[in-house]
Structure 1
Amino acid sequence: MFIAKPKNKHAPERRIGNQHGVAILVAIGVVAVLLTAGLALNQRIRSSVTDAVRIRDELVLSQMAVSGAHAAMIMLINDRKANDTDTLQEDWANPEKVAEMMALMPFEDGNLDVRIVDERGKIQVNALVKFPEGRQFVATQRTLWERLLEHVFSLFEAQPDSDPNMIINSLKDWLDSGDDDAITGLSGAESDYYEGLEPPYSCKNGPMDNLGEVALIQGVTPQLYDGAGGVAGLSSLLTVYGATASGNSRFTFDGKINISTAGIDVLAALLPMENADLAQALADYRVAKADETFVNDIAQAGWYKNVPGAGGISIDANLITVSSDFFRIIATAKRHQKSYTLNVVVQRQKAQGTGQWECKTLNWQVE
């Protein structure tokens, strides 16, 4: 007799349950893939948006700074139309007047700070040697450098590990047109010295195009070049700008310093060493006011003789002027906690053909 085996009533349910489990796992996998893709897409979108915002902000900031630089150029041009002198008593040198000029430009948000610095108020480094001949010291410039370095060295609490005479001789060797035939004095330096350094480099044997070359000179330490402990470094006291025509399409460096705009350290270098302490008195005399009006005339190069205590002092007329044609414009734009600084050097001159005053850009640098 045939006896049928009883059916397993639970078997179909297990198969259905297994199918449901596979479906759930597949669904979870799909969701995980979609979630990962979504997160990646979101990250890419956020990154793209962030980049777009950054680019937009940089563009806005750069245009604000450019606008500030051009406004400063307008101030310099208007100043030349009004007079032939350049002093700290004029609008371009007055931070409040410059700020008023910048306020005329309507920016929706952000702010703009602009400073104008007279490059003629600094020591022209290339004027140390006669140029274009470029083989001999200019006596007045050498004396100026001796005074400058003695003054700067005296300001440091810890004396720089260098020698002023070595710096001056090495600077002359860097600038002169000699082809490494011989060093100046016993402490100069030509290419054989610099090529033994790591990394090696050659002596320029010509005028400096970039002030950073000063830092390459034998004896010029980072402390001296950059300054330290509140003492101004040579980088803030020197300039490579100021070339003037010398005929036959050639140029030279007259090395004249605008005594009406020079800083205290440069004023100290202009004065005899025993009178260097009068530099502060000269600086104060230039900006002395009564009822918001300047009380002293500094439009003539000999005004320093009117400063109390300086009547018997004489500064070589070949070293000083009260007029300039080279200026540095520092325009800093700030917006949304970001900043953009434009450092521009311009030469104020008459345009060929039209005879109109213009500011020719010599150097344009983003900081």
Structure 2
Amino acid sequence: MAGKIIANERGIALLVTLAVTAILIVASLEMNRRMRTAVFSAAAARDRITLLQMASAGIHAAQAILVQDKNNSDSDSLQEDWADPDKISVVLQDMPLKEGTVKVAISDELGKIQANSLVKFPQGRDFNEPQRLLWDRFLRSFVAGNEDLEETEPETIINSLKDWLDSGDDEAITGLSGAESDYYRDLDPPYACRNGPLPHISELALVNGMTPELFEGSGQIPGISSYTTVYGMTAAAGSAFTYEGKININTADLPVLAALLPFGEEGLAEAIYEYRQEVSDEVYIHDLAKPNWYKDVPGLSDVKIDPDLITTSSDIFRIESVAKLNKMKMTITAVIKREKSAQTGKWGCKVLHWQAE
């Protein structure tokens, strides 16, 4: 009898020991998991901070390139260093990176159609007629031959955009196809008309007549959001502002070049585009300093682009800096404006928009 009790006690002790051991193993594994998670989280946080600094450094390097360019030339074109990925890479090589990579791309924001210039500011009431004609050519050319956009009505979009921008919300809509706040309040969900300049290009998608296919694009075809911008505000008298809407013909993409040309001459846009890029012995051969250089392009000597629509200089640029480190990536997009300091007389860059993702 005594032997059975002793045996039972030993069995219980063994079970207790096994249970305690199992608990200790589970606790150890859980502690190990938590420690590894903490280490990985700390490493990821460290890498995110490092990526932010790397991408920010790329933005600052791009600003330095743009300031140097402004000091060297009053005109801006795709022939310059800021538009050359290889030359930007050479500048980035001077960054003291122990590991990881940074790539930077710079584009001219004023090579796009400035949506806010459709209306004459600071009054903010009437059409800017050259811009209205530009938008008409732009949309009709964009829609032509695209089955996804065959029901798009350019006049509706133009009139509705004018109503969205102008300050006359209590007056009659523009033409027969415009839209003021009453129209938008009846939608589901409802929203109000801006009655002022667009703060972000995404708001253009809210305008009556604008479809996702037209704004964002479809398939491999980009939408008009790729060729339009909300930037370009300049000072007017006193504290007022305006949007001149002049497009840099040296940097504009094909759809914008086509819209600048008179009706029936859209096909000459490609000739302008190629003329800007012609080189001999790796040196650009055409001078693009004056806005009317396009008349030297074969076939365009008798063509006239409205001088109120074009320029050859820009001071607003979009910079995209992409940093990669340990299989992680961070992209910073900044829109900057080159400005001359009133105190020092030196050029610098003012950040208009900054987004990290």
TM-score range, shorter chain: over 0.9
| Match in the other structure for 1:36 | 26
Q: 1:55 to 1:45 in 2, by over 3 A?
A: same
Distance 1:255 1:65 in 2: 31
- Deviation string 1:164-219 (CA, Å, 9 cap, x unpaired) is 11100110000001124221111111111111222211000001111111011111
Deviates more, 1:117-126 or 1:176-185: 176-185
Distance 2:85 2:131 in 1: 32
Matched, 1:241 2:231: yes
| Match in the other structure for 2:109 | 119
User: Which is greater in Rg?
Assistant: 1
| Match in the other structure for 2:172 | 182
Matched ranges for 1:62-101 at <5 A: 62-101=52-91
The DSSP-based 3-state class of the residue aligned with 1:202 is coil
Distance 1:47 1:181 in 2: 62
Matched ranges for 1:164-313 at <5 A: 164-313=154-303
| C-alpha deviation, 1:32, in angstroms | 2.0
- Deviation string 1:31-78 (CA, Å, 9 cap, x unpaired) is 122122112211211111111111111111111110010000000000
| Match in the other structure for 1:140 | 130
Percent identical: 50
Q: 1:51 aligned to 41, 48, 51, which one? A: 41
The DSSP-based 3-state class of the residue aligned with 1:274 is coil
Contact 2:143 2:152 in 1 (8 A): no
User: Which residue identity lines up with residue 216 of structure 2 in the other structure?
Assistant: D
Distance 2:219 2:84 in 1: 27
User: Which residue identity lines up with residue 92 of structure 1 in the other structure?
Assistant: W
Q: Show structure 1 runs of 5+ residues with no match.
A: 1-10
User: Which residue identity lines up with residue 93 of structure 2 in the other structure?
Assistant: A
| C-alpha deviation, 1:160, in angstroms | 4.7
- Deviation string 1:129-175 (CA, Å, 9 cap, x unpaired) is 11111111111000000011011112524335421111001100000
Q: Provide the TM-score with structure 2 as the length reference.
A: 0.98
Distance 2:254 2:346 in 1: 34
Q: 1:173 to 1:111 in 2, by over 3 A?
A: same
The DSSP-based 3-state class of the residue aligned with 1:193 is helix
| Match in the other structure for 2:306 | 316
Distance 1:158 1:345 in 2: 31
The DSSP-based 3-state class of the residue aligned with 1:273 is coil
Distance 2:145 2:83 in 1: 27
Contact 2:148 2:213 in 1 (8 A): no
The DSSP-based 3-state class of the residue aligned with 2:189 is coil
- Deviation string 1:265-324 (CA, Å, 9 cap, x unpaired) is 110110112111111111110011011000111111001111111111101111100011
User: Which residue identity lines up with residue 103 of structure 1 in the other structure?
Assistant: Q
User: Which residue identity lines up with residue 68 of structure 2 in the other structure?
Assistant: N
The DSSP-based 3-state class of the residue aligned with 2:286 is coil
Contact 1:242 1:255 in 2 (8 A): yes
| Match in the other structure for 2:5 | 15
Distance 2:217 2:120 in 1: 28
Contact 1:245 1:252 in 2 (8 A): yes
Distance 1:152 1:111 in 2: 38
User: Which residue identity lines up with residue 294 of structure 1 in the other structure?
Assistant: Y
Contact 1:156 1:231 in 2 (8 A): no
Q: Show structure 2 runs of 5+ residues with no match.
A: none
The DSSP-based 3-state class of the residue aligned with 1:86 is coil
| Match in the other structure for 1:3 | none
User: Which residue identity lines up with residue 127 of structure 2 in the other structure?
Assistant: F
The DSSP-based 3-state class of the residue aligned with 1:327 is strand
